[in-house]
């Protein structure tokens, strides 16, 4: 990649920062690497956010905030706890914004779990069995049916796991990627600890808690 300072203007850097929330220097570097291509620069920043998030994933998150969101004229209510590493970050507008966005997303998308790892073995086995039965009923040979089931289970995770769902305000990213971008920007690990969703008239409610890494559904 030569060292051509490809006409990266301050306006482009500002535009990319507004789009992604990434620090100015990171925006400038991403635009330079992408040779001024805005969409490519966004992809570069997202990848960077995900890799920063992976490095910080083991860090303890003992601070954070509990937020509520009431939707549809008081018909749907959500409580969510999102954790970070320090009270300083918990009080920033960026952190508050992501907590609010997550609460709003839960109200709209009704996830049942926080992460893939939280899906109970019973729910996983039931969905896998349904998917396999459907594939075989459609006349698919067993080995093809098994491959189809793997794809269906990924779709199942996307439907029921908060971190896998496409973000309602930007369908090109998942909630997990939204959080990763905030981790990249704020420099601290951020994790959704638990949430509860109530809907008027529903017999039950959704309550999801992130478990320590155990009972992983494979």
The 8-class DSSP code of residue 17 comes to: H
Architecture per CATH, 63-117+161-209: 2-Layer Sandwich (3.30)
pLDDT values of the chain reduced to their tens digit, one per residue, 218 residues: 444 556 788 888 888 877 776 777 888 888 888 888 888 888 887 777 656 666 676 677 889 999 999 987 899 999 999 999 999 999 999 999 999 999 999 999 999 999 999 999 999 999 989 988 888 888 888 778 888 888 888 899 999 999 999 999 999 889 998 998 888 888 889 999 999 999 998 877 899 999 765 433 43
Contact 61, 83 (CB under 8 A): yes
Report the SS3 class of residue 81. strand
Residue 181 burial (10 A CB sphere; 0-12, 13-18, 19+): buried
Domains 10-56 and 63-117+161-209 share a fold: no
CATH 1.10.286 given to domain 120-156: yes
Q: 113: which 2 tokens?
A: 């779990």
- Per domain, the residue ranges of the chain are 10-56, 63-117+161-209, 120-156
pTM (global) more than 0.75: no
Whether the CB-CB separation of 160 and 113 falls below 8 Å is answered with yes
- Sign of the C-alpha dihedral computed for residues 33, 37, 38 and 39 taken in this order: negative
Residue 39 to residue 30: CA distance in whole angstroms: 10
Q: Tell me: domain 10-56, CATH 3.40.50.720, correct?
A: no
């Amino acid at each position: 990649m030569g060292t051509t300072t490809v006409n990266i203007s301050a306006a482009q850097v500002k535009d990319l920062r507004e789009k992604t929330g990434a620090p100015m220097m990171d925006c400038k570097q991403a635009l330079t690497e992408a040779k001024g291509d805005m969409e490519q620069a966004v992809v570069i920043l997202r990848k960077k956010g995900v890799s920063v998030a992976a490095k910080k994933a083991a860090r303890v998150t003992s601070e954070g905030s509990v937020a509520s969101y009431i939707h549809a004229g008081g018909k749907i209510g959500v409580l969510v706890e999102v954790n970070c590493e320090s009270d300083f970050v918990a009080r920033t507008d960026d952190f508050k914004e992501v907590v609010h966005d997550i609460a709003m997303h839960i109200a709209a998308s009704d996830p049942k779990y926080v992460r893939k790892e939280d899906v109970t073995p019973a729910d996983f086995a039931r969905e896998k069995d349904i998917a396999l039965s459907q594939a075989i009923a459609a006349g698919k040979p067993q080995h093809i049916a098994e491959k189809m089931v793997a794809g269906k289970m990924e779709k199942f995770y996307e439907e029921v796991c908060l971190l896998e769902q496409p973000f309602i305000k930007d369908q090109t990213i998942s909630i997990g990627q939204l959080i990763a971008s905030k981790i990249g920007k704020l420099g601290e690990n951020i994790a959704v600890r638990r949430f509860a969703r109530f809907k008027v008239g529903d017999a039950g409610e959704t309550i999801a808690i992130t478990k320590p890494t155990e009972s992983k559904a494979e």
